[in-house]
Amino acid sequence: MVLPRRSRRYRAQWSTRTYYEEGRRHRRRAPMIVLGTGLIIGGALVAVHSVADRGSLIGGALEIPAAVGTSAPLPVTAPTAAPLARSAPVRIEIPALHVSAPVMRLGVAASGSVQVPPLDQHDLAGWYDRSVTPGQRGSSVILGHVDSFTGTSVFFSIKTLRPGNAIDVVRADGSTAVFVVDGVRKVVKSAFPASEVYGNASFPSLRLVTCGGPFDSTSRQYLDNIVVYAHLVRGSR
């Protein structure tokens, strides 16, 4: 897919400030997220849970493509699609990665952490139900494991997504929210930008979140998070 070159006028209109202005206006404290081989997100606090006591991790999760930046990407095209009505996601499809996975609903556990898909179900993603449903105005968050000591998981390769790649989210009402990738970002867990990831954009947007990057063998955790940013281009039935 060939994307138009951003003009100076477009860049001025869609500054990082504009992109997140809605989330900052309605900011609320985000709960922690615990994911896969060690991902917890919550303000500036990051902790880990060990997923196994033996074995070695697959090397591919440690390698982050050079194209992955450290700042939030701007939309590749001006987001003009009309928001969709609320409807929970049931499946996520990423054609470029040959991913087609069911999506479960995730809430908040008594500990304050976000529930996550079972680690032994590698092909299962989870929608955080305190975020909007995919296609609604705001930022919808879908989580997936990167790997475990038994193999790769559903979001293992999302770090390789490129601007313009499609993400289709099938919803409970039979419609599909079609998103286009704006970019991929890596963040250090100890400085996780909660307001930028959790905060609602002023248009229908999507975040895919997993972990990766350097692995600390002592704490048995990845030190980075991988976040894919995308925006809605259309809804279909």
Q: Tell me the domain boundaries of the chain.
A: 8-236
For residue 126, the model assigns a pLDDT of 96
pTM of the predicted structure, to 2 decimals: 0.80
> Do 38 and 222 contact (CB within 8 A), yes or no?
yes
> Do 127 and 134 contact (CB within 8 A), yes or no?
yes
For residue 59, the model assigns a pLDDT of 64
Over residues 113-147, the pLDDT tens digits come to: 777 788 788 889 999 999 999 999 999 999 998 88
Q: From residue 25, give the alpha-carbon distance in Å to each of 22, 71, 211.
A: 5, 20, 28
CATH class of 8-236: mainly beta
Dist. CA 36–CA 145, nearest whole Å: 5
Higher pLDDT: 102 or 4? It is 102
Element (H, E) at 1: none
For residue 19, the model assigns a pLDDT of 54
Dist. CA 187–CA 83, nearest whole Å: 28
75: which residues sit within 8 A by CB, 6+ positions away?
Answer: 14, 19, 182, 203, 231
